[in-house]
């Protein structure tokens, strides 16, 4: 049916952004109509390629020759836009595929975002055509794209009218037109920031946010990528795209919606998005090197600093200003963010003291005092001195209301210095109204008007620098630990008839992945109890062994500190009796007799499968810490030992493990090793396992390891399995 393209989905989206020829199905002279506005914008934006309006009712549309049907065109256009009512869209898409079109954009609304079965069905049909034909489709329910680099715009956005649109190196991808084209693109243009390409990709029937981000990662014109996403789609794909971006040192800043329940609800009625746990998303972004922010202006702030591609080598920051108040504010906010206002080198002190007023001090941040407004050249000289200081990683000249000479000194310094620098300019220029923040931003100077925004952007870049440096060398290369017996684990999993694996089965499965295991025997009768109580050294723990009882403590199903065989047999009968009363229907295998592990610091170690990111590993403090303080850390599996150590370091209670309050330091390396093992377990078996809960994991002093005191593994239902 779609002979030309079958089996060859096109992954190089370049012609999508820089076509030689474009057709608009539904093109119109009426600028109140979508098809009229899109065509008009394309012409006005100065597109240099061939434009084919398709409209069976007209000879000409907006002075261009019109064509009655797609297949009456003299060529197969590189990119076809569909601006038709929803009911006519499917036929048009079909026509495109048959004509051999490779790229198609559908603006029309009325599909999955309506939440109706009909809308979803219609969208699925579009998806199917894309899959069968290999034609790539953006939309439906989208507002197109603008390629500033290629003078190509297919969108109804009013953001471009009358604006000074400078092409730049910041790429923008969003589902929403309002956020992507107004909240981000228009606001960036207004500020003077140049954009490479902007995409508002709507419902993502075929091409999604990640496809466009990947294009921009590959695109030489784009250095920083800003993305806003309601429906992340495939978390593993994000990981691959992020990996590619990291290899090219192209930062990605992300605004992901759906932090709150209200947000998730609104998103699902906007684009039909279904998303996983938000704190898992945050953890995954950190892990992949994406910078997460909360609002559109923060995305722009980050791009402001990152687009010059100069990353701080450390957190030693210097600021210089003639406003003492600003020096205090910058010092204060930076200090609370962990900036090191490093002491200047002796030669810097000496040189600064030579030019500073009698009561000024060459501290950092450096307050030149109001003398700097009066003394011509003082600001320039001070900046020049500080720019040579070896102790500084980032320099921030802070301007308020200054003469153009000082503004220019600050801007020139930021523009030319080889080290990262940002200009904070809260006021205006006294003697030149045309010298504005935007006029500097247009020439690629990172200028911020608000202190916190400036420092946060610098901090983001610092963190990105740390991320990139952490990837150098071998230690972040994913490697499978030794002593993993996957087939044994699969056998244990397959053999269990229950949806939840009991403690003993869970223990065997964990053993297959190299977990330590307490000496345990399953006793079915009193004779077993007597025998086993002589084989395992006292004191013992005894637990009810039933496939139907999972919260053993709550049904009186555990006895601790058993010191004699007599106590053991008593406990055996008492456990059976308790279980019978508490859960009369429970199948009872007998009791587990286990060596009693010494007391340690109790952690929980878990694994689960996130809707977006797939297999996840989690470490946290047990009991009240997890439930009340939510003190947990997540990563997408599998992880390497360095990442596992980072997870431990992220815990608010980390210092408890690390020897706070005179307690002995705990065996962090051992726990990290277990995190790695569990991450591989869930990575290998996430099609069968829904959840693993090792609780508590008792952790001992350095060198003494940890013990799994209890574990529970929940298998996926058939339904869950199907949706992976």
Site for its own copies in 322-351 (CB under 8 A): 322-329, 331-336, 339, 341
Q: Which stretch binds its own copies (CB under 8 A): 111-119, 242-250, 460-468, 707-715?
A: 111-119
Those residues with Cβ within 8 angstroms of residue 309's Cβ, 6 or more apart along the chain or in another chain = 223, 249
Structure tokens at 627: 């439930």
Give phi and psi for 161, each to the nearest 5: -70, 120
405 and 362 Cβ atoms separated by less than 8 Å: no
Q: Residue 521 pairs with which residues in a beta bridge?
A: 593
- The footprint of its own copies on this chain (CB under 8 A) covers a number of residues equal to 95
The three-point CA angle 699-282-696 to 5° equals 20
Distance CA 493, CA 584 (A): 27
φ and ψ of 401, to 5 deg: -110, 110
Which of the ranges 75-83, 233-241, 533-541, 649-657 carries the binding residues for its own copies, by CB under 8 A? 649-657
Looking only at residues 377 through 406 of this chain, which bind its own copies when binding is defined by CB under 8 A?
400-401
Q: Is 406 helix (H, G, I), strand (E, B) or coil?
A: helix
Shorter beta-carbon distance to its own copies: residue 535 or 551: 551
Residue in 115, 649, 659, 724 binding its own copies, rule: CB under 8 A: 115
CB 409 → its own copies: shortest distance, Å? 17
Cβ at position 205, least distance to its own copies in Å:
16
Pick between residue 452 and residue 518 the one whose CB is nearest to its own copies: 452
Q: What is the CA radius of gyration of the chain?
A: 32
Q: Of the ranges 131-139, 177-185, 528-536, 689-697, which one interacts with its own copies (CB under 8 A)?
A: 177-185
Least Å distance, CB 635 to its own copies, is 22
Q: Strands 21-25 and 79-82, how do they pair? A: parallel
Task: Tell me whether residue 147 is exposed, middle or buried, using C-beta atoms within 10 angstroms of its C-beta: 0 to 12, 13 to 18, 19 or more.
Answer: buried
d(C-alpha 623, C-alpha 621), whole Å: 7
* Contacts of 222 by beta carbon, 8 Å cutoff, 6+ apart: 169, 170, 171, 196, 197, 216, 250
Stretch that binds its own copies, among 306-314, 408-416, 422-430, 714-722 (CB under 8 A): 422-430
Nearest approach, Cβ of residue 5 and its own copies (Å): 31
Q: Does the bond joining 365 to the residue before it have cis omega, within 30 degrees of 0?
A: yes
The answer to the question of residue 612 lying near its own copies (CB under 8 A) is no
Residue span binding its own copies (CB under 8 A) among the ranges 130-138, 178-186, 692-700, 708-716: 178-186
Instruction: Please tell me whether residue 649 binds its own copies under the rule CB under 8 A.
Output: no
Taking alpha carbons only, the member of 541, 705, 707, 553 closest to residue 623 is 553
CB neighbours (10 Å) of residue 4? 15
Interface pattern 349-368 for its own copies (x via CB under 8 A): ---------xx-x-x-x-x-
Residue from the set 9, 31, 94, 114 that interacts with its own copies by CB under 8 A: 114
Listed in sequence order, the DSSP H helices in 289-370 are: 296-306, 324-336, 346-355
Task: Please identify, using beta-carbon distances, which residue of 119 and 696 lies nearer to its own copies.
Answer: 119
| Cα distance between residue 19 and residue 31, in whole Å | 24
CB-nearer residue toward its own copies: 183 or 194: 183
Rule CB under 8 A: say whether 179 interacts with its own copies: yes
Q: Which is nearer to its own copies, 18 or 157 (CB)?
A: 157
Least distance between its own copies and beta carbon 419 (Å): 20
Q: Does 228 bind its own copies (CB under 8 A)?
A: yes
Task: Using CB under 8 A, pick the residue from 98, 237, 491, 652 that binds its own copies.
Answer: 652
d(CA 410, CA 422): 9
CB of 186 to its own copies, least distance (A): 5
CB-side exposure of 104: number of CA atoms within 13 Å? 33
Q: Does 275 contact its own copies by CB under 8 A?
A: no
* Per-residue contact string for residues 569-608; x = within reach of its own copies by CB under 8 A: ----------------------------------------
Nearest distance, CB of residue 724 and its own copies, angstroms: 26
Q: Is 162 in the site for its own copies (CB under 8 A)?
A: yes
Q: Is 231 one of the binding residues for its own copies (CB under 8 A)?
A: no
Residue 25 CB, shortest distance to its own copies, in Å, is: 19
> 168 and 148 in contact (C-beta within 8 Å)?
yes
Nearer to its own copies among residue 325 and residue 494 (C-beta): 325
Token pair of 709, please?
């005191």
Nearest by Cα to 409 from 420, 399, 419, 395: 399
Part in contact with its own copies (CB under 8 A); list of ranges 109-117, 467-475, 574-582, 602-610:
109-117
Query: Residue 381 and residue 295: Cα distance in Å, rounded?
Result: 38
How far, in Å, CA of 52 to CA of 21, rounded?
8
> Taking the complex as a whole, how short is the minimal distance between the CB of residue 203 and its own copies, in angstroms?
11
Question: In this structure, what are the phi and psi dihedrals at residue 697, rounded to the nearest 5 degrees?
Answer: -100, 115
Site for its own copies contains 526 (CB under 8 A):
no
Smaller CB distance to its own copies: residue 367 or 545? 367
Residues 232-271 that bind its own copies (CB under 8 A): 255, 257-267, 269-271
Binding mask 444-463 for its own copies (x = CB under 8 A): -----xxxxx----------
**Scanning residues 13 to 72, which ones bind its own copies (CB under 8 A)?**
32
User: What does the alpha-carbon distance between residue 576 and residue 556 come to, in Å, rounded to a whole number?
Assistant: 10
DSSP string, 69-131: SGGGSSS--SEEEE-S-HHHHHHHHHHHHHHT--EEEE----SGGG--HHHHHHHHHHHHHHH
Closest by CA to 706, choosing from 673, 678, 661, is 673
- Residue placing its CB nearer to its own copies in the complex, 114 or 578: 114
Torsion (CA) 542, 544, 547, 550 in degrees, nearest 10? -90
Tokens 């109790």, residue located: 602
Instruction: Name the residue nearer to its own copies (CB basis): 157 or 546.
Output: 157
Closest to its own copies by CB, 401 vs 518, is: 401
CB of 288 to its own copies, least distance (A): 21
Q: Which residues contact 128 (CB under 8 A, 6 or more apart)?
A: none
End-to-end CA distance of the chain: 31
**375 lies in the site for its own copies, by CB under 8 A:** no
Region from 241-249, 377-385, 426-434, 515-523 binding its own copies, contact rule CB under 8 A: 426-434
How far apart CA 639 and CA 494 sit, in angstroms, is: 26
204 binds its own copies (CB under 8 A): no
Segment near its own copies (CB under 8 A), from 51-59, 157-165, 518-526, 674-682?
A: 157-165
**Site map for its own copies, 281-320, x if CB under 8 A?**
-------------xxxxx----------------------
User: Judged by CB, which is closer to its own copies: 359, or 723?
Assistant: 359
Closest CA to 590 of 604, 573, 609, 602: 573
Cβ contact 169:221 at 8 Å: yes
Query: Which range of residues in 74-82, 174-182, 474-482, 605-613 is near its own copies by CB under 8 A?
Result: 174-182
Asked if residue 161 binds its own copies (CB under 8 A), the reply is yes
Q: How many CB atoms lie within 10 A of CB 538?
A: 15
Using CB under 8 A, which of 28, 147, 155, 175 touches its own copies?
Answer: 175
CA dihedral 40, 43, 49, 51 (to 10 degrees): 30
Minimum Å gap between C-beta 201 and its own copies is 12
321 binds its own copies (CB under 8 A): yes
Binding mask 428-447 for its own copies (x = CB under 8 A): x-x--x--------------
153 binds its own copies (CB under 8 A): no
Determine the distance from the C-alpha atom of residue 499 to the mean position of all C-alpha atoms in its chain, rounded to a whole number. Answer: 32
């Amino acid at each position: 049916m779609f002979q030309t393209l079958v089996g060859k989905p096109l992954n190089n989206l370049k012609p999508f952004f820089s076509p030689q020829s474009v057709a608009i199905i539904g093109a119109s002279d009426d600028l109140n109509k979508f098809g009229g506005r899109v065509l008009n914008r394309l012409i006005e934006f100065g597109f240099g390629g061939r434009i084919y309006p398709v409209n069976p009712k007209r000879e000409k549309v907006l002075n261009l020759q019109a064509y009655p049907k797609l297949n009456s065109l003299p060529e197969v256009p590189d990119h076809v836009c569909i601006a038709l009512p929803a009911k006519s869209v499917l036929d048009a898409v079909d026509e495109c595929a048959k004509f051999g079109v490779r790229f198609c954009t559908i603006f029309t609304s009325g599909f999955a975002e309506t939440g109706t079965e009909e809308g979803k069905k219609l969208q699925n049909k579009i998806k199917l055509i894309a899959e069968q034909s290999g034609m790539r489709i953006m939309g439906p329910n989208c507002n197109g794209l603008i390629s500033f680099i290629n003078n190509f715009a297919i969108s109804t956005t009013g953001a471009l009218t009358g604006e000074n649109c400078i092409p730049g190196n910041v790429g923008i991808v969003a589902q929403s037109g309002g956020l992507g084209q107004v909240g981000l693109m228009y606001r960036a243009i207004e500020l003077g920031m140049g954009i490479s390409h902007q995409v508002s990709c709507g419902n993502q029937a075929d091409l999604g946010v990640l496809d466009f981000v990947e294009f921009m990662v590959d695109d030489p014109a784009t250095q920083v990528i800003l993305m806003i996403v309601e429906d992340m789609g495939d978390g593993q794909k994000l990981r691959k795209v992020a990996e590619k971006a990291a290899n090219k040192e192209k930062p990605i800043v992300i605004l992901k919606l759906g932090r709150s329940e209200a947000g998730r609800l609104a998103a699902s009625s906007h684009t039909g998005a279904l998303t996983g746990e938000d704190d898992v998303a945050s953890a995954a972004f950190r892990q992949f090197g994406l910078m997460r922010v909360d609002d559109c202006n923060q995305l722009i702030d980050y791009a402001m600093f990152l687009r010059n591609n100069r990353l701080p080598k450390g957190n030693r920051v210097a600021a210089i200003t003639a406003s003492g108040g600003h020096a205090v504010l910058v010092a204060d906010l930076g200090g609370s963010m962990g900036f090191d206002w490093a002491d200047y080198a002796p030669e810097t002190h000496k040189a600064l003291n030579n030019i500073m007023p009698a009561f000024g001090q060459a501290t950092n941040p450096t307050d030149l005092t109001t003398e700097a407004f009066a003394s011509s050249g003082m600001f320039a000289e001070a900046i020049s001195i500080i720019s040579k200081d070896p102790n500084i990683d980032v320099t921030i000249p802070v301007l308020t209301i200054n003469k153009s000479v000082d503004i220019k000194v600050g801007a020139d310094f930021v523009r030319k210095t080889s080290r990262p620098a940002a200009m904070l300019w809260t006021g205006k220029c006294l003697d030149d109204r045309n010298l504005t923040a935007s006029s500097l931003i247009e020439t690629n100077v990172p200028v911020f008007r608000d202190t916190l925004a400036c420092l946060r952007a610098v901090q983001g870049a610092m963190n990105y620098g740390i991320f990139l440096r952490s990837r150098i060398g071998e230690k972040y290369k994913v490697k499978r630990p030794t002593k993993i017996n996957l087939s044994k684990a699969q056998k244990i999993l397959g053999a269990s008839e229950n949806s939840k694996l009991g403690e003993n089965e869970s223990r065997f499965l964990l053993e297959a992945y190299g977990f330590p295991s307490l000496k345990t025997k399953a006793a079915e009768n009193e004779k077993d109890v007597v025998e086993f109580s002589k084989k395992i050294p006292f004191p013992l723990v005894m637990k009810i062994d039933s496939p139907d009882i999972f919260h053993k403590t709550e049904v009186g199903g555990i006895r601790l500190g058993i010191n004699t065989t007599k106590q053991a047999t008593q406990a055996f009968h008492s456990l059976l009796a308790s279980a019978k009363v508490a859960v009369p229907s429970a199948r009872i295998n007998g009791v587990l007799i286990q060596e009693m592990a010494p007391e340690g610091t109790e952690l929980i170690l878990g694994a689960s499968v996130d809707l977006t990111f797939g297999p996840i590993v989690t470490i946290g403090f047990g009991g009240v810490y997890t439930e009340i303080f939510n003190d947990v850390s997540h990563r997408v599996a599998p992880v390497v030992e360095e990442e596992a150590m980072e997870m431990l370091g992220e815990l608010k209670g980390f210092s408890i493990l690390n020897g706070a309050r005179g307690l002995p330091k705990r065996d962090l390396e051992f726990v990290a090793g277990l995190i790695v093992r569990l991450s591989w377990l869930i990575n290998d078996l996430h099609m069968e396992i829904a959840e693993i809960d090792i609780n508590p994991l008792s952790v001992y002093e350095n060198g003494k390891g940890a013990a799994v005191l209890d574990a529970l593994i929940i298998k996926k239902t058939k339904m869950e399995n199907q949706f992976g």
